[in-house]
Amino acid sequence: MPSRHILPSVIQTVLAGFPLLVFLGGSTAFGQTAAVPRSISLLTAAPAITILSAPAGVPVRTFAAGNAALDLGAVSYFKGASAPGESSRKNSGSFVISTRFALRVDCPAGSASSLVDVIMTRVDADASHAIAIDGTTLGSAPQIFLQSMPCGSAGEHRLDVEVPVSTPAGAIGSTVAFVATLRK
């Protein structure tokens, strides 16, 4: 089997949690005339997700709020993992690179004692490698990642990237989106 080197690869994690600002009202809202002004302002914000380095994982690079990456470094079937905080194992036709990361969810003021559900989705369509988090293989359809997670809490998770030995040498990268919603 020829040596297949995968050059520095980045698993980019896009975190979603967009604040929603809704204005209802004005001088003619709800059928009222201009003489009886009515207005209602609602401001809601989604929980914020932060990806953090785990003590036994690779470093996390944070690019901007809600955008982080795990750099898995140069890896190969024969030489294994190259970055501290990651491991690799060989299968008959592939190798798996594993590392750990932490995920924290912070909620808007007034909902700090609430619970959130977190879903995950693989955004890219690259079929040259498989990605699993905590043993769940990611696909393009949203999947439940965490249920009833308390706001303000964090947890450690395992990322596995399985690369077939037939993959040409070079960089690989994937994007995973996490979305947290407040439970009602």
d(C-alpha 83, C-alpha 157), whole Å: 18
Q: Is residue 108 part of a domain?
A: yes
Per the document, the length of the chain is 184
Chain segment 36-78, per-residue pLDDT in tens: 444 443 444 688 899 999 999 998 888 777 788 888 888 888 8
Q: Is residue 30 part of a domain?
A: no
Enclosing domain of residue 93: 5-18+46-182
Greater pLDDT, 65 or 176: 176
Q: Is residue 28 part of a domain?
A: no
Contact status, residue 78 vs residue 70, Cβ threshold 8 Å: no
pTM over 0.95: no
Q: Is residue 27 part of a domain?
A: no
Q: Is residue 34 part of a domain?
A: no
Q: What is the CATH number of the domain that holds 142?
A: 2.60.40
- The single-letter code of the amino acid at 79 is K
Q: Is residue 178 part of a domain?
A: yes
Q: Is residue 137 part of a domain?
A: yes
Chain segment 157-173, per-residue pLDDT in tens: 999 999 998 888 777 78
> What is the number of domains present in the chain?
1
Token digits for 178? 């996490």
Contact status, residue 5 vs residue 169, Cβ threshold 8 Å: yes
Contact status, residue 45 vs residue 106, Cβ threshold 8 Å: no
Q: What percent of the chain has pLDDT over 90?
A: 40
Average pLDDT on 87-114 reads 88
- In the numeric block, the tokens 């008959």 are attached to 92
Contact status, residue 27 vs residue 34, Cβ threshold 8 Å: yes
Q: Is residue 33 part of a domain?
A: no
